[in-house]
Amino acid sequence: MTFRRRIAASALVLSIGACALSVSGEPKGGVSWVPSAHAQGVIRNLIARLRGQTLPEGIAKANGRLEATQVDVSSKYAGRLQEVTVEEGSSVTQGQAIAKLTSPEYEAQLRAAKADVQKANDALASAEAEITSRQSALEFAKSDFERGQELMKTGFITKQVFEQRKRNFDSAVASVKNFTSQRDQALSQIANSEAEVDRVQSIIDDLTLVSPRLGRVQYQLARAGEVVAAGAPIVTILDLTDVYMTVFLPAADAGRLAVGDEARIILDPVPDYVIPAKVSFVAADAQFTPKTVETTDERAKLMFRIKLKIDADVLQQFYTRVKTGVRGLGFVRTKADVEWPADLQVKLPKPPADKASATPAADSAAPQATAPKSPDNNAAETKTPVAK
């Protein structure tokens, strides 16, 4: 449906809803529709705002839709998907376990690495025991050699006996050095084996997938029992703390914008509310307008992509009601000194008393279509269907 057709349809629905049903005083009791003057004024103002006729100079508008940052959660390693603890639509917190894979190969490698650690510890204990034994033999050979040196001076032992004692002393020293080297090798082997255990254990730990952000599960791409490859996405999560509207503006308007400028968003399902936002991105290059974008000129050739990021505090208040894909209008100020008109001042519904409640009031992020209003209802009391 084109932008003009949407305006016509909206005007027709609002006109019907604004008419008051009254019974005439004719004898036949005929029924006639009497339009309310106040309702007609509201309709005219709404249509004029949708067409951009009442916008002051220095404020530009464009059509867009709500989007959120998507994050694919995947495994670094291949394995069989043992379980998935979330479903599409589930809310997840940062660090929450959402899936688990199993891999008998890595589990076998872990057992082998632990066995190598035990073997290296046994080698270390044996080397230390030998060092203790050889150290005692070294002390004896050293004292025997030192006595032989004194006896050689007085001639009480022959040179041959003295040389034998010297060889025993040198052999004991070499033996201690040998087992000391074996102890050092055992220590090095223990360090290597423990590092291998840590490496394999980290792989097994990575087989438990956790949510990298606070958000909502958008897609579940794999089921329990499936064998997944390394890097294959398992679930897609929407980061509902990073919600924005993408709009396209001509160079004359985009050139006056800067990152951080204030913006406003009005969503089609709840035109009564005005959502605060900021310009978070201005494209450096122009592009041809996408086919899904409707502009005032109905297909301007070259436009600049702009991102209007919704205020984080607003997203936090209405976190459970945020939805993506909802269409609406984005408004930006091309002149910093221009004041926002009255109908573009921030207006939000009352935040839900319990953020986890399934029946909060209609929110500004992405509510469903509002229920028909009775004559006594106010706009702020409009309720939305519960999202499933």
| One pLDDT digit (tens) per residue for the chain, 388 residues | 444 444 444 444 444 444 433 333 444 444 333 445 555 555 555 555 554 456 788 888 888 888 888 999 998 999 999 999 999 988 899 999 999 999 999 999 999 999 999 999 998 888 888 887 777 777 777 777 777 777 777 767 777 777 777 788 778 888 878 888 888 888 999 999 999 999 999 999 999 999 998 889 989 999 999 999 999 999 999 988 889 998 988 888 888 888 989 999 999 888 888 999 999 988 888 777 665 555 555 455 678 888 898 888 888 788 777 778 888 889 998 888 888 888 888 888 877 665 433 333 333 333 333 333 333 433 333 333 333 3
Tokens of 20: 């008051």
**Residue 64 near residue 246, CB atoms below 8 Å:** yes
- To the nearest 10°, the Cα dihedral for 200, 202, 206, 210? 160
Q: What pLDDT was estimated at residue 80?
A: 92
C-alpha separations of 339 from 57, 236, 310, 343 in Å: 10, 40, 19, 11
Q: What pLDDT was estimated at residue 116?
A: 92
pLDDT (tens digit per residue) in 337-358 = 888 888 888 888 877 665 433 3
The residues with which 41 forms a beta bridge, in sequence order, are none
Chain mean position to CA 211: 7
Q: What pLDDT was estimated at residue 27?
A: 41
**Residue 246 near residue 65, CB atoms below 8 Å:** yes
Interatomic CA distance for residues 86 and 98, integer angstroms: 6
pLDDT (tens digit per residue) in 158-179 = 777 777 777 887 788 888 788 8
Neighbours of 83 (CB within 10 A): 13
Which residues have a Cβ under 8 Å from the Cβ of 296 and sit 6 or more positions away? 52
Interatomic CA distance for residues 94 and 86, integer angstroms: 13
Of the candidates 386, 385, 379, which has an alpha carbon nearest to the alpha carbon of residue 350? 379
In the chain, which residue ranges form alpha helices assigned H by DSSP? 3-18, 37-51, 104-154, 159-206, 251-254, 312-317
The string of DSSP codes covering 191-221 is HHHHHHHHHHHHHHHHTEEE-SSSEEEEEE-
Q: What pLDDT was estimated at residue 197?
A: 94
Q: What pLDDT was estimated at residue 4?
A: 45
**Residue 364 near residue 276, CB atoms below 8 Å:** no
> What is the three-class DSSP state of 386?
coil
Interatomic CA distance for residues 227 and 238, integer angstroms: 24
Which residues have a Cβ under 8 Å from the Cβ of 19 and sit 6 or more positions away? 33, 34, 35, 36, 39
Q: What pLDDT was estimated at residue 115?
A: 94
Interatomic CA distance for residues 270 and 370, integer angstroms: 7
Of the candidates 298, 314, 339, 302, which has an alpha carbon nearest to the alpha carbon of residue 245? 314
Q: What pLDDT was estimated at residue 369?
A: 36
155 dihedral zone (left: phi>0; alpha: psi -120 to 50; beta): left
Q: What pLDDT was estimated at residue 307?
A: 86
Is pTM beyond 0.75 here? Answer: no
